[in-house]
């Protein structure tokens, strides 16, 4: 009887783990790390979503957000068609992104107020406007 219980528990655990994996593969959000000077409003504006959309995925974020905390940002079909979000990797420059995305440095800086070649930081998430904008 103990053997049957062990087999049943193992199968149940394996099934639960596989369900968790498939749910993670179909995530309808991506992660944003809060930087100094950002507010819930500025983050929502950056991704063209409402503050309520962010709070829905991040309970408690309507009270206070902290630098370094990671927020889940909902994916939207409209936003995906018009722009891309890029996380700056080591060795990347503003010029390299202009070549990669076929968009001007001015357009990238305009889409990211306060961004310049001087304050380009590894790990920073920036908005890349579409080449047709």
Query: Quick one: which H or E segment has residue 4?
Result: helix 2-25
- pTM of the full predicted structure? 0.49
C-alpha to C-alpha distance for 115 and 85, rounded to whole angstroms:
14
pLDDT of residue 102: 92
| Residues 33 and 70: beta-carbon distance below 8 Å | yes
Q: Which CATH superfamily is domain 76-133 in?
A: LysM domain (3.10.350.10)
**Residue 32: how many other CB atoms lie within 10 Å:** 20
* pLDDT band (50, 70, 90) for residue 4: low
C-alpha to C-alpha distance for 130 and 133, rounded to whole angstroms:
6
The answer on pLDDT for 14 being more than 70 is no
Nearest Cα residue to 71 out of 86, 84, 58: 58
């Amino acid at each position: 009887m103990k053997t049957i219980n062990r087999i049943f528990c193992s199968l149940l655990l394996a099934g639960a783990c596989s369900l968790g994996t498939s749910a993670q593969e179909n995530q309808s959000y991506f992660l944003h790390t809060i930087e100094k000077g950002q507010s819930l409003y500025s983050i929502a504006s950056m991704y063209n979503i409402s503050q309520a959309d962010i709070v829905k995925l991040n309970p408690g974020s309507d009270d206070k957000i902290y630098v370094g905390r990671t927020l889940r940002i909902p994916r939207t079909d409209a936003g995906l068609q018009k722009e891309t979000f890029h996380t700056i990797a080591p060795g990347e420059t503003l010029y390299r992104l202009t070549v990669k995305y076929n968009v001007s440095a001015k357009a990238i800086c305009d889409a990211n107020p306060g961004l310049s070649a001087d304050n380009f930081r590894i790990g920073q998430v920036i908005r890349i406007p579409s080449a047709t904008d």
